[in-house]
Structure 1
Amino acid sequence: MFEYFLGEFALAEGKQGGQLYTPRSIVELLVNMLEPYQGRVFDPCCGSGGMFVQSEKFVEEHQGRISDISIYGQESNQTTWRLAKMNLAIRGIDSSQVKWNNEGSFLNDAHQDLKADFIIANPPFNVSDWSGEQLRGDARWQYGALTSKTSGEGDIRKRLITDGNLIDCIVNLPAKLFLNTQIPAALWFMNRNRAGMDIGGHMGTTGGANDVRANNHLLPRHPRPHEILFIDARNLGHLINRRTRELSHDDIQKIADTYHAWRTADPSPSVGARCTRPDDAVDATGADAILPYGDVRGFCASVPISRVAELDYVLTPGRYAGLPDEEDDFNFPERFAALKAEFEAQLQEEEALNRAIVESLARVKV
């Protein structure tokens, strides 16, 4: 009930509501892709705590143990922080590590010594004065930082790939999903386990407008360390009102299952294979089976890093997934025969009309 009213309040507030609330379908998608079964979950700009609530729901729905995960968060708006504490308290979730200070996690990180297993966040949109000049030497920006006096997004993308090999997956979202902007955003998933490090991590971020990260040292060695998965989900979702779109459960499942299939060790089959994990596909134990991954034009593509380098490290999924194949059920001989018969019938009708006109004119007395 609290979550429902929180969502309705955020919808009514519009752009201001986006500062405290990440839409449920986006949070659900992030959590379903990251699968935080156990470990420490951190949100450095936690708003009203939706990421934490959905993480615990995920564990419960998959017969996990709530005690296997612990949450850590930080919020700079005191009113929003109080909403988060209330949101967690009514669900019996320990919020002792959800901290508040008015500087925010950039300038006053309340969890400097935390080694998180999953970092999931939706940072504020379009904030130009975020004190970037004061953070130029901060280790969190080892691959570069954008400030009001610098540019260089391309250089940062390149270093994230060439120096860190961190980019795991990019998901382009439909427009109108967020309350405080109608532009399409992208989810970025970063994984420190790609390089095969023992302390590997998994990170996911909403790019362009948002940011989500995660890391999981329990993951096996990454099966595709030299590829990046691009998912173009711009055509998914449905409008719930004139200004707001929402992803359905099937949409979320389609995207998450594609990522999980890609993360398996099986090599990619031919282009056009299905990317989904249907409910009726089960293994010998009765659990959901993951079908082998395959590129689907217009939706998903697994791209070698060498190809990304050729395109100057552009990370736009549509550039790699391409346009969907149009279903062509046009039968030319059948259609030609139908048109020919229609045309012949029209010629016969024209001939009859011409005869009738001539006969009528012949009866006219001048």
Structure 2
Amino acid sequence: MAKKANQKKDKPIEVSLWESANKLRGSVEPSEYKHVVLGLIFLKFVSDKFEEHRAKLIAEGKGKYIEIPEFYNMSNVFFLKEISRWSYIQEKAKQDDLALIIDTALHTIEKDNKSLKGALPDNYFSRLGLESSKLASLIDEINEINTLKDKEQDVVGRVYEYFLSKFALAEGKGKGEFYTPKSIVNLIAEMIQPYKGIIYDPACGSGGMFVQSVRFIESHNGNKKEVSIYGQEYTNTTYKLAKMNLAIRGISANLGAKAANTFSDDQHKDLKADYIMANPPFNQKDWRGENELLDDPRWEGYDVPPKSNANYGWILNMASKLSDNGVAGFILANGALSGGGDEYKIRRKLIENDLVEAIVIIPRNTFYTTDISVTLWILNKNKKERVVEINGNVRYYRNREKEVLFMDLRRWGQEFEKMYVELSGDEIAKVAENYHNWQQKEYGTVYNNIPEFCYSAHFDEIAANDFSLVPSKYIEFIDQDSGIDFDAEMKRIQKDFRELLKEERASQEELVNAFKILGYEL
């Protein structure tokens, strides 16, 4: 028995929690139980912080102030009434009305702390109808997290990140849009370097771009107080998740007064951002009505983005919100590189206005929700000269105006989970270094076009290619077949065919059953 207990103790807390969360299968949908688990982790974290500060007040001889909210808020700690404290929830964990007790705790915390307005689940646990015994078991597991043990390691943040990625993996294609893989967020941060100023994400999901931006600043000895964060999210449950995700890390952010559609209900109309980081939904259909948003100021100087696909709506939304020295890094489906019609006209104008700075093809299977290769776009409002101060050192970026840097990473990345690919830290550093060397070409750095990796194309070359931004039209490929691992490729194709055949068999069975119901045999 002791051996089993030790095995559990040695197991990473993320893994133990995931195993515990999986016990909820069959009771609620996977897309739902992420909110159950992450809501409870948030509750445990804020309670631990409260108890720590409460003990400090008592130790300092300020015991008479321990029930006064201001003495917590002034130290960036949320004040909790007794019914919202983890100890109270644990005490009541065996009661049949446990879900109501948790909902009451969350509601009370939000009501008593203005900065959490709209952040926490509202009567969520009661509505789920989850068995009290399963909920109590999960509470016991979460109680094992010592959220204050190692502030440097950010235990709760680590658990959140782990769960968000695991939920995205579990939910599969078509779901989990709220999560952008960490390696992609790191790549964007290392390239656009969001050190100080306003950071904006128009489709912020669970707030991953913001978390990584702050982590980037801290890892380079910067000051997170020198950035202001603005974002917007359409889905209400994900909007709340983002607020919780940022709150546990002490990150202040303006995500708008509510969850809302960025196009039809822009929460930051007059915003001018120094940095934009985004992974908006790919290829959204019917994102605006036939006669809606035709005169939107975000399209000023450009054609109206087609309603059949929102990709260029997202691009122009971000371009319109860049400050005079602003830079944006965002992910889009590859189709946006060469579309015709109104997309062609907008893309041409973006290139003529010298806004497009870099185009980077990301490896396939990087995202959990799609296996297609996608593109990282970098837009720069001031390609002529940009000044960045890093730890007191000033860097001057002066580009070749009217040029675009193309990079192809399709054969890069390391496999994980047997079906996904992620860029390594060394690979991200290599891409960022290449990009910054290209930017600083007039300041003694070395940049060279490298076959099958990168190429700096002048405006005239891009115009000659009818304003296509497909990297393979510019990057030299010596031998398209060289370096391909045919065994690995055949295994990948074999797996894809297995899935297709499985789906086809399922469709055939559904068709046969439909005819049987109607009284016919096939």
Question: How would you bin the TM-score normalised by the shorter chain?
Answer: 0.7 to 0.9
Cα distance between partner residues in 2 of 1:219 and 1:305: 26
Deviation of 1:17 (Å): 4.1
Aligned positions of 1:298-309 closer than 5 A: 298-309=452-463
C-alpha separation in 1, matches of 2:423 and 2:171? 21
- Matched residue of 1:189: which SS? strand
Q: CA RMSD in A?
A: 2.5
Q: Does 1:154 align with 2:311?
A: no
Q: Residues 34-71 of structure 1: CA distance to partner in whole angstroms, max 9, x if unpaired?
A: 00110000001100000000000000000111111110
CA distance in 2, matches of 1:40, 1:246: 28
CA positional deviation for 1:165? 1.2
The one of 360, 363, 368 equivalent to 1:174 is 363
1:320 to 474, 478, 492: 474
Would you say the 8 A contact 2:198–2:230 is kept in 1?
yes
Asked if structure 1 preserves the Cα contact closer than 8 Å seen for 2:232 and 2:259, the reply is no
Shift of 1:121: 1.0
Residues 35, 241 of structure 1: alpha-carbon distance in 2 compared, 3 angstrom cutoff: same
Structure 1: segments with no counterpart, 5+ residues: 203-217, 268-289, 329-366
8 A Cα contact 2:174 2:370, kept in partner: no
- Judging changes above 3 Å, is the alpha-carbon distance between structure 1 residues 89 and 102 closer, same or farther for their aligned structure 2 residues? closer
Deviation at 1:322, TM superposition (A): 1.9
Output one character per residue of 1:229-270: Cα deviation in whole Å (capped at 9) or x when no partner.
000111111221343211111111111111111110438xxx
Q: Partner of 1:293: helix, strand, or coil? A: coil
* Aligned: 1:117 with 2:307: no
CA–CA distance in structure 1, aligned partners of residues 399 and 308 of structure 2: 39
Aligned to 2:337: none
Residue in structure 1 matched with residue 411 of structure 2 by the alignment: 235
Q: What is the distance in 2 between the residues matched to 1:245 and 1:265?
A: 32
Partner of 1:113: helix, strand, or coil? coil
Mapped to 1, the partners of 2:421 and 2:412 lie a distance apart of 9
Distance 1:291 1:220, change over 3 A: closer
Contact 1:239–1:246, Cα closer than 8 Å, also in 2: yes
Deviations 1:330-366 (A, max 9, x none): xxxxxxxxxxxxxxxxxxxxxxxxxxxxxxxxxxxxx
* Structure 1 residues 201 and 169: CA distance shift in structure 2, 3 A: farther
Shift of 1:146: 2.0
Q: CA deviation at 1:324?
A: 4.8
Q: How far does residue 154 in structure 1 lie from its aligned partner after superposition? A: 2.0
Q: Distance in 2 between matches of 1:187 and 1:18?
A: 20
1:105 deviates by 1.0
State the Cα distance separating 1:220 from its structure 2 match.
5.4
Work out which of the residue numbers 285, 296, 309 in structure 2 matches 1:128: 285
Query: Structure 2 regions of 5+ residues with no counterpart?
Result: 1-158, 310-339, 389-393, 483-522
For 1:195 and 1:155, the matched residues in 2 are separated by 24
The Cα offsets for residues 191-250 of structure 1, whole Å up to 9 and x where unpaired, read as: 110266xxx899xxxxxxxxxxxxxxx985742112110001111112213432111111
Equivalent residue for 1:45?
Answer: 203
TM-score, length basis structure 2: 0.51
Residues 11-22 of structure 1 mapped to structure 2, 5 A cutoff: 11-22=169-180
Structure exhibiting the larger radius of gyration computed from Cα positions: 1
User: Using a 3 Å threshold, how does the CA distance of structure 1 residues 9 and 221 change in structure 2: closer, same or farther?
Assistant: closer
Superposed, which structure 2 residues align to 1:326-337 within 5 Å?
Answer: none
Aligned pairs, number: 285
- Name the CA distance, whole Å, in 1 between partners of 2:256 and 2:171: 25
Cα distance in 1 for partners of 2:298, 2:166 equals 35
Do residues 74 (structure 1) and 232 (structure 2) align?
yes
Q: Give the AA of the match of 2:232.
A: Q
User: 2:383 aligned with 1:188, yes or no?
Assistant: no
Give the direction of change, closer, same or farther, for the CA distance of 1:221–1:252 in structure 2 (3 Å limit).
Answer: closer
> For residues 305-332 of structure 1, what are the alpha-carbon distances to aligned partners after superposition, in whole Å with 9 as ceiling and x for unaligned?
1111011111011211121579x9xxxx
Larger deviation, residues 13-22 vs 302-311: 13-22
* TM-score normalised according to structure 1 size: 0.72
Partner of 1:252: 428
CA distance in 1, matches of 2:289, 2:455: 34
Give the corresponding residue for 1:4.
Answer: 162
Q: Structure 2 vs 1, CA of residues 220 and 138 (structure 1 numbering), >3 Å: closer, same or farther?
A: farther
| Cα deviation, residue 100, structure 1 | 5.5
Which segment drifts farther, 44-53 or 248-257?
Answer: 248-257
